[in-house]
Amino acid sequence: MFGVPHAARDPGEGRPQDMEPVQHGLCFKCHPEKRGPWVYEHSAVKVEGCGICHVPHGSPNRFLLTTRDIRRTCIQCHGQHHFNTPQQSCVNCHTQIHGSNFSRRFFQ
């Protein structure tokens, strides 16, 4: 089905556009460690799907993010919380961003 994962040449290549990747488990076929199960699930993954933060068919950004830096990706939903400097990243503290079995705030 996927000739080149994360690098489809045609926007329609790879999966039907109306198919939600998380509901159908497409992302988790190659990334099972992101599925969980988690005691504390990140609602963005559960409700919105992987595409709320990631561009599954390729992105020039690190980790295939929708924005250039991870902080901006987080701010889209969470607003600007606890930032002392503009360079501080959410994942400096919130290391388990896909889900956690230990902390509802996704700490280690």
Consecutive 10-residue runs of the chain (108 residues): their mean pLDDT?
Answer: 52 45 70 90 87 88 89 86 70 91 88
- pLDDT score recorded for residue 53: 92
Q: What local confidence, expressed as pLDDT, does residue 3 receive?
A: 45
Apex 78 CA angle, 90 and 68, nearest 5 = 55
Instruction: Give the pTM.
Output: 0.72
Phi and psi at residue 44, to the nearest 5°: -60, -45
11 to 17, 28, 34, 55: CA distances (angstroms): 8, 20, 24, 11
The residues, any chain, with a CB within 8 Å of residue 97's CB and separated by 6 or more, are 42, 90, 91, 106
Q: Where are the domains of the chain?
A: 21-100
